[in-house]
Amino acid sequence: MPKSKRDLTMEQQLGRGPVDLPFLMLVLLLVGIGAVMVFSASFATAYYVEDDPFYYVKRHAVFVAAGLVIMYLISKFNYQLWRGLSMPLLGAAFVLLVLVLTPLGYGSEEVGAQRWMKVFLVAGPGFQPSEIAKLAVILFFSARLAKRDGQKKRKWNRRTALGRLLQVLDDIGFLELVPYAAILLAMAGLMLKEPHLSGTVLIMAGGAAVLFAAGVRLYWFIIGGGFAAAGLWFIITFTDYMSARIELWLDPWSDAQNKGYQTIQSIYAIASGGLTGLGLGQSRQKYLYLPEPENDFIFSIAVEELGFIGAILIIALFALLIIRGYWLAIHARDRFGSLVIVGINTLLAVQVFLNIGVVTNFLPNTGISLPFFSYGGTALWIHMAEMGIILAVSRQIPAPKQE
pLDDT recorded at residue 225: 82
**Interior/surface letters 222-241, b for 16+ CB within 10 angstroms, e for the rest:** eebeeebeeeeeebeeeeee
The total number of structural domains that make up the chain: 1
Confidence check: pLDDT of 56 > 50: yes
Does residue 152 sit within a domain? yes
Task: Identify the residue with better confidence: 378 or 391.
Answer: 391
pLDDT recorded at residue 123: 46
Does residue 2 sit within a domain? no
Residue 55: domain span: 26-395
Does residue 131 sit within a domain? yes
Confidence check: pLDDT of 228 > 90: no
Q: What is the mean pLDDT of residues 16-42?
A: 94
Q: What is the mean pLDDT of residues 16-27?
A: 92
Q: What is the mean pLDDT of residues 232-259?
A: 77
Does residue 212 sit within a domain? yes
Does residue 4 sit within a domain? no
| pLDDT, mean over the chain | 86
Confidence check: pLDDT of 3 > 60: no
Q: Give the relative orientation of helices 81-99 and 129-145 as an angle to the nearest 10 degrees.
A: 140
Cα(369)–Cα(381) distance, integer angstroms: 13
Global confidence as pTM = 0.88
Q: What is the mean pLDDT of residues 66-81?
A: 94
Say if CB 300 and CB 362 are below 8 A apart.
no
Confidence check: pLDDT of 355 > 70: yes
Does residue 1 sit within a domain? no
What percent of the chain has pLDDT above 90? 55
Confidence check: pLDDT of 11 > 50: no
Cα(188)–Cα(185) distance, integer angstroms: 5
Does residue 74 sit within a domain? yes
List CB contacts of 302: < 8 A, sequence separation 6 or more. 37, 41, 310, 311, 314, 373
- pLDDT tens, position by position, 100-122: 888 777 655 445 567 777 665 44
Range scoring the smallest mean pLDDT among 15-19, 144-148, 201-205, 274-278: 15-19
Say if CB 375 and CB 387 are below 8 A apart.
no
Range scoring the smallest mean pLDDT among 21-35, 227-241, 267-281, 283-297: 227-241
Helix or strand or coil: residue 311?
A: helix
What percent of the chain has pLDDT above 70? 88
Confidence check: pLDDT of 402 > 80: no
Q: Give residue 331's pLDDT band: very low, low, confident or very high (50, 70, 90).
A: very high
Task: Identify the residue with better confidence: 91 or 153.
Answer: 91
Does residue 21 sit within a domain? no
pLDDT recorded at residue 122: 47
Range scoring the smallest mean pLDDT among 32-36, 161-165, 198-202: 161-165
